[in-house]
């Protein structure tokens, strides 16, 4: 998650410090928490401190879930405060590593773009797209920024649309088309004395901002708690009073899907699922000076797991396996009646 709240609204250094403390308490979530802390430090203007956090992650003896993402973020940050040569070297390394996650590709390409390296940015977006879209019929949501960024840079370079640009157009859901949003002439509209041109540009900017905010808000979903079968059995064996909350595992899974669909139909955005474990829940209850048998702790536990970056977005992307752990495609399992 890359927070985008202005510094005058949020105390970014304090939030970074809080996230660092939380990472110390929950080392299993340190990577996600420290990345958010580094983003807050960048927003506060303390880029050297952010680089220190990236270095701390990269030197972790336990390894990282996504080291290419951390390196990409470090490169982007370094370039912003004068370390261009080091940033370029890291960017070259990320591209050579060919990560299978679109996020590092987007970050390094946007770093090049922001420093007017449009040809290199276009090449980077294209490399990532070619690698990750091979034999993929329907790009997952995580691929959209890669396609949209590529479309934007190619529009700025005056290149003709190709098949991937057309695909980006079809995936774009804003009322303002990508061609309008990425029109290089838009910058001239901002200096126009014509009220109609200014109003049109404001509408385009609002649409673009809405798209970005939707993407940025996704890592903080409204989360529903899921217990795998073995964990639920252990939980009920240790705390039988919770049987009233969880009469059976099958009922528990059905309740999760029903709850999420009801939330979605009511207009609640950014829904997700967090998976609980008994030791983690017991530790949470102890930290709250309460008993694990207190059912009011369950939604609090879910919210805490989501805040630590443990949530998985619901519904799953097209073709993805079901959230329940059955191994079946979601559309053939709990999503069958969607």
Look up the pTM and report it: 0.67
Contact 70, 107 (CB under 8 A): no
Assign 177 to helix, strand or coil.
coil
Contact 295, 118 (CB under 8 A): no
Residue whose entry in the numeric block shows the structure tokens 């059905």:
254
Q: Which sign, positive or negative, has the C-alpha torsion 105, 107, 108, 112?
A: positive
Q: What is the pLDDT of residue 72?
A: 95
Tokens of 264: 């979605």
Q: How many CB atoms lie within 10 A of CB 66?
A: 18
Question: CA 332 to CA 128: how far, in whole Å?
Answer: 30
Question: CA 53 to CA 35: how far, in whole Å?
Answer: 8
List, run by run, the mean pLDDT of 10-residue segments along the chain (338 residues): 53 90 85 89 92 94 88 95 95 95 93 92 96 82 89 91 92 79 65 62 57 46 89 94 94 94 84 90 85 91 82 82 90 81
Residue 56 belongs to what H/E stretch?
A: helix 47-58
Tokens of 87: 């940033």
Q: Which residues pair with 47 in a beta bridge?
A: none
Instruction: From 135, 76, 122, 72, select the one nearest 102 (Cα to Cα).
Output: 72
First to last CA, the chain: 29
Q: What is the pLDDT of residue 127?
A: 97
Q: What is the pLDDT of residue 213?
A: 45
Q: What is the pLDDT of residue 190?
A: 53
């Amino acid at each position: 998650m890359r927070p985008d709240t202005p510094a005058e609204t949020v105390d970014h250094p304090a939030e970074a410090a809080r996230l660092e403390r939380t990472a110390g308490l929950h080392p299993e979530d340190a990577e996600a928490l420290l990345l958010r802390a580094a983003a807050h430090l960048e927003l506060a203007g303390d880029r050297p401190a952010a680089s220190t956090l990236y270095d701390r992650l990269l030197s972790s003896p336990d390894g990282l879930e996504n080291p290419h993402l951390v390196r990409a973020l470090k490169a982007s940050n370094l370039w912003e405060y004068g370390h261009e040569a080091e940033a370029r070297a890291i960017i070259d390394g990320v591209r050579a590593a060919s990560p299978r996650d679109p996020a590092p590709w987007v970050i390094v390409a946007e770093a090049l773009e922001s420093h007017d390296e449009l040809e290199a940015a276009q090449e980077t977006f294209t490399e990532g797209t070619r690698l990750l879209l091979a034999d993929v019929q329907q790009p997952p949501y995580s691929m959209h920024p890669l396609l949209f960024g590529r479309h934007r840079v190619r529009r700025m370079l005056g290149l003709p649309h190709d098949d991937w640009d057309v695909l980006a157009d079809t995936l774009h859901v804003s009322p303002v088309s990508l061609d309008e949003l990425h029109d290089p002439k838009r910058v001239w509209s901002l200096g126009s004395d014509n009220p109609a041109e200014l109003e049109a540009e404001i509408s385009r900017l609002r649409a673009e901002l809405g798209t970005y905010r939707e993407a940025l808000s996704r890592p903080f979903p409204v989360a529903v708690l899921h217990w795998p079968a073995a964990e639920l059995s252990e939980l009920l064996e240790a705390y039988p009073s919770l049987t009233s909350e969880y009469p059976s595992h099958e009922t528990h899974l059905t309740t999760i899907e029903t709850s999420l669909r009801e939330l979605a139909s009511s207009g609640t955005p950014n829904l997700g699922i967090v998976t609980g474990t008994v030791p983690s829940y017991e530790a949470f209850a102890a930290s709250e000076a309460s008993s694990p048998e207190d059912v009011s702790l369950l939604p609090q536990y879910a919210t805490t797991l989501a805040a630590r970056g443990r949530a998985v977005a619901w519904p799953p992307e097209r073709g993805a396996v079901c959230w329940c752990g059955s191994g079946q495609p979601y559309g053939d399992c709990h999503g069958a009646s969607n």
